[in-house]
Amino acid sequence: MKALLDGFRALGPVKLGAMALVTAVVLGFMTMIGINAGDAPMALLYGDVGLQESASMVQALTAGHIPYSLHDDGHTILVPATDVSKARLLLATKNLPHNGNVGYSLFDKVNPLTGSSFLDRIDETRALDGELAQTIEQIQGVRSARVQIVLSSQTPFAQDAQPAQASVLLSLNDAVPLDRQSIDAILNLVASAVPGLKPEHISIVDDHGELLAQPGQNDIAGMAGRNEDLRRATELRLEHAVEDMLSQTLGPGHVRAVASVKMDFDQTDETSTTYDPNGQVPRSQQQVDQKSSTTAPITGVSVQNNLPNATPPTSQNVNTSSKSDQTTNYEISQVVKHVVATTPQIARITLAVMVDGTDQPGPGGKPEWQPRTLAQLTAIRDLVKTAIGYDKARGDVVEIQSLPFIADGRTRTTPKVTRLAQLLAQADIGSVLRTLIMALTGLIALLFVFRPLMSKLTSLTPVSATPAELSGDFEPSGLLSGAEPAMPSTRALVGPAGSTNEAMVNLTQIDGQIRMSSLRQIGELAEQHPAETVAIIRGWLGEGASR
C-alpha cells in the first residue's frame, strides 16, 4: 500500500488531476447509461391527437404523477409500458381523448332556464354530429371523422319541406382508401340516425379530397360497386376451388389459377301464358228444345161464302214444328308464368391454369425439370371443367399450361431461429443497446485507462535516500571511485528485464554504451528528486575543482 501511495506521489499533481478528470468522466458516463438502462421502456399511449387535446392529456398525466414523453411535435404521447393501463384509466375519468366530438354530453352543463328554442336546436344538431362522428371512428381504417347534419325544416307557407342532408369528412389511417362495403355502411349508419335523411342525400369525402359518396348518385354508385364486388368474389371463388383441388395432387405451390368472369346484371320481368288444347274440360252445358203447332181455316172464294149469314167451312189446315239447341262450354288448361330475374347470371367464364412440371433424372443423375404429359394435362382440364361448371354453349374457355415455377416449394427450407434471435425478439431493443454501450464503455476504460495506469504504478520503484543525502552531507566521490552511491540501485538504471533489443547510446568519457531507458529513468529520477540531484552534481563539481 505504501508503494502504491509513493507511486501516486511520484506522478505529480498535473498527472493526478488529469487521471482524476478522466476517471470522473468515465464513471459519470457509465452511471448515466446505467440509470437510463434501468428505466422502464416507453410505450404508446395515444397517437395522432390534436394539440389542444394533447395539452389536456399532459396536464392530467402530470397531476397523476405519471411520467410521459412527447413526440411528433406533441401529437404522440408515450408513457412507461407498465403505466399504460393506469394512464388510460386516468384519462378516461376525465373524458379524454374525445377528439373534439362532444356528443350528447353537451347537455350535461346546459341550464334549461337560460336556453331558447334556437339554441336547443343548435345543441341538438351538434350533439348528433358528435355522436355520429364517435360511432364512425370505430370503423376499422377510420382515424377521425367529422359530421355535419342539416335537419329537415318546414318553411311557413311552403308546400314542400326541405329534406335533411349530411356531409361526412373522414381521416383515414395510412392513406388506405375504404372499400365499398365500408362506405355503404357509413351511408346507412348516418341515414338511420337522422330522421328523414336518405342515403342519396349524404356526401362522404376523405382527407385527401377524394369524393367517396356523391349525393344523388349513391344508389347507382353503390349498385355498381356491389356488382363489381360480386364479380370479383365469384372469380376468387373459382380460383380457390381450382387451386385447392389440384394442390391435393400436384402439391402446394405448384398450381396457379386466374379466372375472369363476365356477368349479366340485367333484371328481367317476364310473364308467359301457355294453353293446352288437349286438356279440355267441360265447364257448362245448355240445351233448349222448342215445339210449335198452328191451325188455319181453309178459305176460298165462292158464292156460298159471300152469302149473308153463310156458315163458315169446318175444314182447317194444321202446321207443326220443333227446334232443339244445345250449347257446351269447355275450359282449356293454361299455364301463366311470371319470372322476375334479379340475381346476376354468369355470362361467360375464362380460366387460365398454370401447373408445375416434374423433376426427372438427367445427365449425371442431376434432376431436370420436365413438363407434364398431354394425358396429364387432359385429365387436369377435365377436372377443372367439372369444378367450375363449364358450359360450351355459354362460350366458356379453359386453358391449361405446364410451365416451370421460379419459387419451388419443395426446395424451400425454414430458417432456423437461434436462441439469441428469440431473446432479441422478445427483449426491448433500447435496453439491449444501452446495456451493450455501457459494457463496451467499461471495457474500453479498463483496457486503455485503468490497466496502463495500474501497470505504471506497479512498475515504479520508490527512491530511498539516506539521512546523509537528505542533509546534503554525503560524499559523491564514491561515484568517481566506483563505489555505490546513495541513489537508487543499479537495477533501476539498466531498464526492464529482457530488453536486450533496446537501442544503445554512446556518451563521452564513458566506456561502453548505456540503454536509452536508463537515461529516461535518470531524467525521471532527477525530476522527482531535485534536491538529491543538485547535491550529486555539486559533489561532482567540487571533486573536479579539487583536482
pLDDT digits (tens, 9 = 90+) for 454-474: 665 555 444 444 444 434 444
Residue with the larger pLDDT of the pair 113 and 203: 203
What local confidence, expressed as pLDDT, does residue 40 receive?
Answer: 65
- Owner of C-alpha cell 408513457: 79
What local confidence, expressed as pLDDT, does residue 142 receive?
Answer: 87
Q: Is residue 229 part of a domain?
A: yes
What local confidence, expressed as pLDDT, does residue 440 receive?
Answer: 79
What local confidence, expressed as pLDDT, does residue 530 receive?
Answer: 83
pLDDT at 409 over 50: no
CA distances from 526 to 17, 485, 487, 532, 539 (A): 22, 15, 11, 8, 15
Q: Calculate mean pLDDT across residues 60-86.
A: 89
Maximum average pLDDT range among 254-268, 324-338, 516-530: 254-268
Residue with the larger pLDDT of the pair 490 and 344: 344
C-alpha closest to that of 142 among 182, 181, 104: 182
Instruction: Spell out a b/e string for 461-475, using b for 16 or more CB atoms within 10 Å of the CB, else e.
Output: eeeebeeebeeeebe
What local confidence, expressed as pLDDT, does residue 456 receive?
Answer: 58
Given 217, 233, 256, the domain boundary residue is: 217
Q: What are phi and psi of 329, to 5 degrees?
A: -100, 125
Q: Which residue type does 181 have?
A: Q
Residue 10 binned pLDDT confidence (cut-offs 50, 70, 90): low
Check: CB of residue 40 under 8 Å from CB of residue 493. no
Q: Is residue 257 domain-shared with residue 348, that is, in the same domain?
A: yes
CA 513, chain centre distance (Å): 80
Q: Is residue 359 domain-shared with residue 373, that is, in the same domain?
A: yes
Q: Calculate mean pLDDT across residues 356-381.
A: 88
Q: Is residue 208 domain-shared with residue 225, that is, in the same domain?
A: no
pLDDT at 397 over 90: yes
CA distances from 147 to 169, 194, 351 (A): 6, 12, 45
Beta strand residue intervals within 159-301, DSSP E = 165-172, 202-206, 211-213, 255-264, 268-297
Given 217, 243, 262, the domain boundary residue is: 217
What local confidence, expressed as pLDDT, does residue 302 receive?
Answer: 67
Q: For 63, which DSSP code?
A: H
**Grid coordinates belonging to 120:** 336547443
Q: Is residue 140 domain-shared with residue 241, that is, in the same domain?
A: no
Q: For 515, which DSSP code?
A: E
d(CA 78, CA 84): 9
CA distances from 377 to 16, 252, 395, 480 (A): 89, 18, 21, 113
What local confidence, expressed as pLDDT, does residue 467 receive?
Answer: 42
Least confident of 201-205, 329-333, 470-474, 510-514: 470-474
Q: Is residue 24 part of a domain?
A: yes
Q: For 511, which DSSP code?
A: S
Q: For 215, which DSSP code?
A: T
Check: CB of residue 149 under 8 Å from CB of residue 131. no
Q: Is residue 71 domain-shared with residue 135, that is, in the same domain?
A: no
Q: Is residue 211 domain-shared with residue 242, that is, in the same domain?
A: no
Q: For 108, which DSSP code?
A: G
Query: In sequence order, which residues have a C-beta less than 8 Å from that of residue 40 and are 6 or more positions away?
Result: 80, 81, 82, 83
Q: Calculate mean pLDDT across residues 343-358.
A: 90
**Grid coordinates belonging to 503:** 537501442
pLDDT at 90 over 80: yes
Q: Calculate mean pLDDT across residues 365-371.
A: 85
Maximum average pLDDT range among 102-111, 180-189, 512-521, 522-531: 180-189
What local confidence, expressed as pLDDT, does residue 235 receive?
Answer: 92
Q: Is residue 360 part of a domain?
A: yes
Residue 332 binned pLDDT confidence (cut-offs 50, 70, 90): confident
pLDDT at 483 over 60: no
pTM of the model: 0.42
Q: Which residue type does 503 have?
A: A
C-alpha closest to that of 260 among 152, 399, 76: 399
Q: Is residue 185 domain-shared with residue 265, that is, in the same domain?
A: no
Residue 288 binned pLDDT confidence (cut-offs 50, 70, 90): confident
Q: Which residue type does 43 have?
A: A
**Grid coordinates belonging to 82:** 407498465
Q: Is residue 21 domain-shared with residue 150, that is, in the same domain?
A: no
> Helices 51-63 and 84-93 meet at what angle, rounded to 10?
110
Q: Is residue 147 part of a domain?
A: yes
Q: Calculate mean pLDDT across residues 410-439.
A: 59
Q: Is residue 439 part of a domain?
A: no
What is the CATH number for 51? 3.30.70
Q: C-alpha angle 211/214/218, rounded to 5°?
A: 125
C-alpha closest to that of 105 among 71, 75, 134: 134
Residue with the larger pLDDT of the pair 94 and 394: 394
The count of other CB atoms within 10 Å of the CB of residue 429 is 10
Q: What are phi and psi of 105, to 5 degrees?
A: -65, -10
pLDDT digits (tens, 9 = 90+) for 177-233: 788 888 888 999 999 999 888 888 899 999 888 888 888 765 665 677 778 888 888
Query: In sequence order, which residues have a C-beta less than 8 Å from that of residue 339 and are 6 or more positions away?
Result: 268, 269, 270, 271, 272
Q: Is residue 237 domain-shared with residue 142, that is, in the same domain?
A: no
Check: CB of residue 395 under 8 Å from CB of residue 349. no
Q: Is residue 540 part of a domain?
A: no
Q: Calculate mean pLDDT across residues 508-525.
A: 71
Least confident of 19-28, 78-87, 95-104, 193-202: 95-104
C-alpha closest to that of 206 among 167, 243, 154: 167
Q: Calculate mean pLDDT across residues 362-384.
A: 89
pLDDT at 344 over 90: no
Range of the domain at 144: 117-154+162-217
Average pLDDT across the chain, whole number: 75
Q: What are phi and psi of 7, to 5 degrees?
A: -65, -40
C-alpha closest to that of 97 among 77, 112, 124, 125: 77
Maximum average pLDDT range among 81-90, 215-224, 520-529: 81-90
pLDDT digits (tens, 9 = 90+) for 131-185: 898 899 889 888 888 999 998 876 666 677 788 899 999 988 876 678 888 888 8
Residue 242 binned pLDDT confidence (cut-offs 50, 70, 90): very high
Q: What are phi and psi of 324, to 5 degrees?
A: -130, 125
For every residue of 296-315, DSSP letters joined together read EE-----TTTTSTTPPPP--
C-alpha closest to that of 171 among 220, 219, 100, 226: 100
Using only C-alpha atoms, what is the Rg of the chain? 57
What local confidence, expressed as pLDDT, does residue 522 receive?
Answer: 80
Q: Is residue 339 domain-shared with residue 233, that is, in the same domain?
A: yes
State how many domains the chain has.
Answer: 4
Start-to-end CA distance of the chain, whole Å, equals 46
Q: Is residue 167 part of a domain?
A: yes
What local confidence, expressed as pLDDT, does residue 500 receive?
Answer: 47
Residue 31 binned pLDDT confidence (cut-offs 50, 70, 90): confident
What local confidence, expressed as pLDDT, does residue 452 receive?
Answer: 66
Q: Is residue 81 domain-shared with residue 127, that is, in the same domain?
A: no
C-alpha closest to that of 167 among 131, 127, 212: 212
Given 217, 240, 262, the domain boundary residue is: 217
Q: Is residue 265 domain-shared with residue 339, that is, in the same domain?
A: yes
Cis peptide before 97 (omega within 30 of 0): yes
> Helices 429-445 and 2-38 meet at what angle, rounded to 10?
170
What is the CATH number for 143? 3.30.300.30
d(CA 463, CA 10): 10
Q: Is residue 104 part of a domain?
A: no
d(CA 7, CA 323): 163
Residue 322 β-bridge partners: 291
What local confidence, expressed as pLDDT, does residue 260 receive?
Answer: 93
d(CA 119, CA 100): 19
pLDDT at 297 over 50: yes
Residue with the larger pLDDT of the pair 6 and 337: 337
State how beta strands 345-355 and 397-402 pair: parallel
Residue with the larger pLDDT of the pair 463 and 127: 127
